[in-house]
Amino acid sequence: MYVYINGEIIDQNLVKISPFDHGFMYGLGLFETFRVDEGHPFLLEDHIHRLKKGLVELNIKWDYDTNKIVSVLDQLLKANGLSHAYIRLNVSAGTGEVGLQTRAYESPTTIIYIKPLAKSHMLEKEAVLLRTRRNTPEGSYRLKSHHYLNNILAKREIGDDSSKEGLFLNEQGFVCEGIVSNIFWIKNRVVYTPDSGTGLLNGITREFVLTLLQKLNIKYEVGYYEKETLIDCDEAFVTNSIQEVVPLIGINGQVLPGGKGSITNKVSDLYQYYKQKKLWSKAEVL
């Protein structure tokens, strides 16, 4: 496969970064993952907006815009012969001296990874409540950063079974998020999802689904919930930008309707409808 790094598209086996890159040394880097389907990067503007906001927090100067990213993606897709792809857009701080730096990073390392991805279709998963607790964010809110040990420990807990997703409780015992997803559940036709104050990563797909619920006139609540509230649900689904809306067939052995859930289906159908519209941002819905 060919990848992009700092202005070049090269064979992935030839990619090199400096051992003095502070993304490697101190974890100062952010990334976005998203789908490209039929050549279109869904909700790309929302991903770039979140990335840029996070880079300001890390004091990393980055001057790419949507047009530049689209141009690079077009070149990458052509070089790899793909029209459906998994994309990871990664920006790390760039090189610096050994030691903690307080001044701005002026020359970040930008890498765009790509791999083949099948056309999207509805998956179903079983959720398991994790013993591992979600750690608190490094700053005032969680960034999609290189700090992934908490997620790795959680993944080791449930193993490599792709049909399962682990669900974090935070340190206060509130339902937080999945290892690589956000969680939604339905009780008496009301949708519930944890507040970002629980320490979750505010996913681009999470925000898009909240927009879809408004469009569907489906009542939803965002708050702090104990695990008993989640397990007592009528249906549930998890979301991320690669797998999209994933119905749950169970949580901790409690059987759920999966893809047969009525509200889950409505959300998934509307998601796919807007995906066919090739949206750049959730702002185009309302």
Q: Span 2-116: which CATH code?
A: 3.30.470.10
Confidence of residue 109 (pLDDT cuts 50, 70, 90): very high
Using alpha carbons, select from 113, 40, 39, 112 the residue that is nearest to residue 82: 39
Confidence of residue 225 (pLDDT cuts 50, 70, 90): very high
Q: Distances from the Cα of 77 to the Cαs of 3, 71, 192, 241, 245, in angstroms?
A: 10, 10, 38, 18, 25
d(C-alpha 88, C-alpha 199), whole Å: 23
Please work out, in degrees rounded to the nearest 5, the angle formed at the alpha carbon of residue 216 by the alpha carbons of 266 and 261. 25
Confidence of residue 246 (pLDDT cuts 50, 70, 90): very high
Contact 42, 278 (CB under 8 A): yes
* In the chain, % of residues over pLDDT 70: 100
Buried b (16+ CB within 10 A) or exposed e, 108-123: bbbbbbbeebeebebe
The pLDDT value recorded for residue 196 is 97
For range 146-160, the mean pLDDT: 97
Confidence of residue 122 (pLDDT cuts 50, 70, 90): confident
* In the chain, % of residues over pLDDT 90: 98
d(C-alpha 29, C-alpha 258), whole Å: 36
Please list the residue range(s) of the chain that carry CATH number 3.20.10.10. Answer: 125-284
The answer to pTM > 0.85 is yes
Residues near 118 by Cβ (< 8 Å), separated by ≥ 6?
84
The pLDDT value recorded for residue 121 is 75
Q: How many CB atoms lie within 10 A of CB 162?
A: 9
The pLDDT value recorded for residue 119 is 79
Confidence of residue 118 (pLDDT cuts 50, 70, 90): confident
d(C-alpha 247, C-alpha 184), whole Å: 10
Using alpha carbons, select from 207, 158, 222, 228 the residue that is nearest to residue 43: 207
Please list the residue range(s) of the chain that carry CATH number 3.30.470.10. Answer: 2-116
Pick the CATH number of 125-284 from 3.40.640.10, 3.20.10.10, 3.40.50.800, 3.40.30.10: 3.20.10.10
The pLDDT value recorded for residue 222 is 98
Checking if the pLDDT of 120 tops 80, the result is no
d(C-alpha 175, C-alpha 169), whole Å: 5
